[in-house]
Structure 1
Amino acid sequence: MTRTDRQLTRPACDKALLSDWDAQVGAAGPGVRGDFHASPGALALDCTGRVATKFVAGQAGIVLVPDPASLGALPERGWEHLLATQRARAAALGLPLDWELDERFPDRLPNRLAAAGFRERRPVTVLLGSAGHAAAGRGDDLPPGIRVQADSTDYAAVRDLARTVRGGDWSWLPDALAHWVRDDRAPCTVVTARTPRGRLVAAAWVRFHPGTPFASLWGGATAPAWRGRGLYRALVRLRAALAADRGHRLLYTEAMGSSRPVLCRSGFGPVRVLVPYRYCPPGR
């Protein structure tokens, strides 16, 4: 483990590494992520040129902002037009629309979104970790016969598990996984936990970012009856090991409250908070 990795939980070091992520991976755009932002589908560019919106397969739309700081230069009339356009697009499709804010956005944006009918939702934590440390973490005893392995085959089963665990449509996921696995910009590997009879009970994936020290972890889901039995942590260890084998020593992930404790026990540290704001058109 390098000196930087040992210091990963120190705030100054974390922020420097987060800046590296923003510059080396984040600047490449949403296509190298491993979530809905990066799923195949059409983008609708806003007339300001500063944002794009994306709606795929009945999913809540997302506002994508390549350069959050640039929004600070938008005049008042520009804000009114931007937000009116976003709301109209969501209303025409009959779908919610999300913004995710962090410290890079203008300070007044939360108030602007609230005034435009966007409502704050549960925050998401961005964490960074050392691949070597996470891969070498203490192994939990898995239930007898459970197999944890790289398993880029049955993407429909991964979709069905996501629907069971998280609700929602997720019909976009099989095509997205197949696309990411073939994507040389950020190759993807799916990992699964299966019972002795082959039933999928946990799944996740990792994307590798060539030319950078980073890999990113996405999509962890465990069937309700199998939670608390070490499966998620085993998937973290396996993905960390795959990243380390490819020479990626740092891991990026975004976590809700349920997975954050496991990640922190695996050596990850929080570096940013994402606060989603959602607009729901009338009737939704």
Structure 2
Amino acid sequence: MTDASTNDQGRQLLAAYDDQLRGTSESADVPTSLDGPVIRVEYPNRGFVSYRALEGLDGAEVDALIARQRDYFAAKGQSVEWKLRGHDQPADLPERLRAAGFVPEDQETVLVAESADIVERLRGRESVDGITIRQVSDRADFERIAAMESAVWNDDWSWLPDDLVRRHATGHTDVYIAESGGTVVSAAWAVYKQNTEFTGLWGGSTLEPFRGRGIYKALVATRATQAVARGYKYLHVDASDNSSPILQRLGFLAITTTTPYVHTPA
């Protein structure tokens, strides 16, 4: 594929991503409230700000909008994440967020691919010797996933079982684990975005001794196959610097970046 055709495809994928995944679809299945172009997504212990675009607002209006989201969740004693995409306008939005007390976290790359293309590219890679991959739905397995994630990231992921229980109960999320000798060594989940053509791929963390064996690719292949079976045309990933090169070699295209800007009340 030529650079020009790749660029054209990237623009088409970005347009589909913006049209289908920005705004209301990011807030499905959780309480929300509106403030102009902004949707406040109200998770049990934190907030999330979603929007399609901020067109038509001048600088003072953008500053006021940011401050209202900060103050709304601060009044509830909660942190709030403003998820900034690399192509969002106005161009000085990062500076405005910092001025309002939001702190940027690690930038990730937004990657998109056609589900059927990934299934074809990974044909025969759905399994790994000595590893069992299976779909799970019990809280006990979700707690095992949280323990694995806590070990990988050296952080407290005890919030994850409740999140996976909620997601699974909607019927729009499939959760998979990879096991070796009864130990969860990796896990990932697929989120089927209703009324869109997109399946989100989340998770994929793997215990260090088991990396480099193809487990991550097998979990991508498994979820891509299920996305095709459910009729979802696209896969999308917010990819870390570790997973982004792997996914791009598999045929995912980078279409933008995403950076969480987080305000935590004193």
Place the TM-score, normalised by the shorter chain, in its bin.
0.7 to 0.9
Residues in 2 aligned to 1:166 and 1:90: alpha-carbon distance in whole angstroms: 27
- The answer on 1:63 being equivalent to 2:48 is yes
Question: In the alignment, what sits opposite 1:35?
Answer: none
Aligned partner of 2:109: which letter?
A: T
- The answer on 1:50 being equivalent to 2:46 is no
Question: In the alignment, what sits opposite 1:237?
Answer: 221
- Shift of the alpha carbon at 1:179? 2.7
Aligned partner of 2:167: which letter?
A: W
Give secondary structure in 2 for the equivalent of 1:86.
helix
Residues in 1 aligned to 2:35 and 2:10: alpha-carbon distance in whole angstroms: 36
Aligned ranges 1:26-37 → 2 under 5 Å: 26-32=22-28
Alpha-carbon deviations, 1:93-137, whole Å to 9, x = none? 2x6443221223322322212222323332111100122222233
Identity in percent: 28
- Equivalent residues, number: 262
Please, which of 205, 214, 231 is the counterpart of residue 247 of structure 1? 231
Q: Is the 8 A contact 1:189 1:205 kept in 2?
A: yes
| Structure 1 pair 134–280 and aligned structure 2 pair: CA distance change class (3 A) | same
- The answer on 1:162 being equivalent to 2:113 is no
Q: Is the 8 A contact 1:129 1:250 kept in 2?
A: yes
- The answer on 1:137 being equivalent to 2:121 is yes
Please, which of 169, 175, 186 is the counterpart of residue 182 of structure 1? 169
Question: In the alignment, what sits opposite 2:97?
Answer: 113
- For normalisation by structure 2, the TM-score amounts to 0.82
Q: Is the 8 A contact 1:98 1:277 kept in 2?
A: yes
- The answer on 1:266 being equivalent to 2:253 is no
Residues in 1 aligned to 2:225 and 2:5: alpha-carbon distance in whole angstroms: 20
Alpha-carbon deviations, 1:73-94, whole Å to 9, x = none? 266277347416615743862x
Judging by fraction of residues, say which structure has more strand: 2
Question: In the alignment, what sits opposite 1:17?
Answer: 13
Please, which of 115, 123, 126 is the counterpart of residue 107 of structure 2? 123
Give secondary structure in 1 for the equivalent of 2:242.
coil
Further displaced range: 254-263 or 243-252: 243-252
Residues in 2 aligned to 1:99 and 1:160: alpha-carbon distance in whole angstroms: 27
- The answer on 1:208 being equivalent to 2:208 is no
| Structure 1 pair 112–78 and aligned structure 2 pair: CA distance change class (3 A) | closer
Give secondary structure in 2 for the equivalent of 1:73.
coil
Give secondary structure in 2 for the equivalent of 1:10.
helix
- For normalisation by structure 1, the TM-score amounts to 0.77
| Structure 1 pair 55–169 and aligned structure 2 pair: CA distance change class (3 A) | farther
Give secondary structure in 2 for the equivalent of 1:129.
strand
Aligned partner of 2:38: which letter?
A: R
Q: Is the 8 A contact 2:23 2:50 kept in 1?
A: no
Give secondary structure in 2 for the equivalent of 1:65.
strand
> Which residues of structure 1 form unaligned runs of 5+?
33-37
| Structure 1 pair 179–89 and aligned structure 2 pair: CA distance change class (3 A) | closer
- The alignment's C-alpha RMSD in Å is 3.3
Q: Is the 8 A contact 1:131 1:250 kept in 2?
A: yes
